Amino acid sequence: MNKDLLTYLSGYLTPQRQDLFNKVLEMRTRYLTVVLEDIYQPQNASAVLRTCDCFGLQDVHIIENRNTFEVNREVSLGSSKWLSLKKYNEKEQNSLQAIKHLKAQGYRIVATTPHTNDQQLHDFDVSKGKAALVFGSELPGITSRIMNEADEFLKIPMYGFTESFNISVSAAIILHHLTLKMRQDERINWQLSDTEKDEIKLEWIRKTIKRSELIEQRFLKGDL
């Protein structure tokens, strides 16, 4: 992390923009993350990105097996610009690759799907450690690979005839509940480290200022 570069590029931001970046970063988290497995409905998946940004999640993991994930910008309203999107699409078993990566980072894999061992949303213990919440497409749902690798299963209580919510609605309900519990629990260290904040802020600045790549190259060469 080049602190001098961050300081220099920050000078291209207005004071108001810098304050906004700092304010948002204080509420950002990687304690909870979302995994989207092979979603083929671009509108719904893009709505999930918007929800993740609104509730302060920084990372979204996107598994592409048969379906390529495309952001619908009219639905996402630019939220993907501020998120760290990690795609898994280079292996035959992309779902397994994603799960191994997340478990190596200390995440428990939480499948959001009706299951015989489900726990209700209000019973989920957010203080047990970092959680990766996996959402699948509405009709096929989460694959058996995820089901077999999941550490826990989670469902939203429902009292009507239909058996599931729209994926974007499910994500919004679950993230609202869990991020609220997370932030209210003083035992949980959910905030980003200073290094993480600096790294993310640098990426945001690069996406904000015009010709950032050229300015950065000139700075690193000592031409400025």
pLDDT at 142: 84
Residue 215 structural domain: 1-28+191-224
Q: Is 76 found in the same domain as 177?
A: yes
Q: Is 196 found in the same domain as 126?
A: no
169: its two tokens: 């609605």
The SS3 of residue 29 is strand
pLDDT at 133: 97
pLDDT at 188: 97
Q: Is 143 found in the same domain as 126?
A: yes
Q: Is 78 found in the same domain as 16?
A: no
pLDDT at 75: 65
Q: Which CATH number is 62's domain given?
A: 3.40.1280.10
Q: Is 61 found in the same domain as 142?
A: yes
Query: 153-205: per-residue pLDDT in tens?
Result: 999 988 888 877 888 999 999 999 999 999 999 999 999 999 999 999 999 99
Of the candidates 61, 17, 9, 16, the one whose C-alpha atom is nearest the C-alpha of residue 35 is: 61
Mean pLDDT of 74-96: 84
Q: Is 46 found in the same domain as 24?
A: no
pLDDT at 138: 67
Q: Is 149 found in the same domain as 84?
A: yes
Query: 12-26: per-residue pLDDT in tens?
Result: 999 999 999 999 999
The greatest distance separating any two alpha carbons of the chain, rounded to the nearest whole angstrom, comes to 67
Instruction: Give the DSSP letter of residue 193.
Output: P
Q: Is 169 found in the same domain as 80?
A: yes
> Which residues neighbour 144 within 8 Å (Cβ) at sequence distance 6 or greater?
none
112: its two tokens: 């959001």
Q: Is 116 found in the same domain as 39?
A: yes
Q: Is 132 found in the same domain as 103?
A: yes
Q: Is 205 found in the same domain as 114?
A: no
Q: Is the pLDDT of residue 27 over 70?
A: yes
Tally of domains within the chain: 2
| 15 phi, psi to nearest 5 deg | -55, -35
Q: Is the pLDDT of residue 143 over 90?
A: no
Mean pLDDT of 128-133: 97
The SS3 of residue 21 is helix
> Could you tell me if 203 and 5 are in contact, meaning their C-beta atoms sit under 8 angstroms apart?
no
Reported as half-sphere exposure (CB side, CA atoms, 13 A), residue 55 has a value of: 28
Mean pLDDT of 109-135: 89
Query: 31-78: per-residue pLDDT in tens?
Result: 999 999 888 777 888 899 999 999 999 999 999 888 777 776 666 668
Q: Is 195 found in the same domain as 185?
A: no
- Per-residue pLDDT band at 137 (split at 50, 70, 90): confident
pLDDT at 177: 97
Q: Is the pLDDT of residue 208 over 80?
A: yes
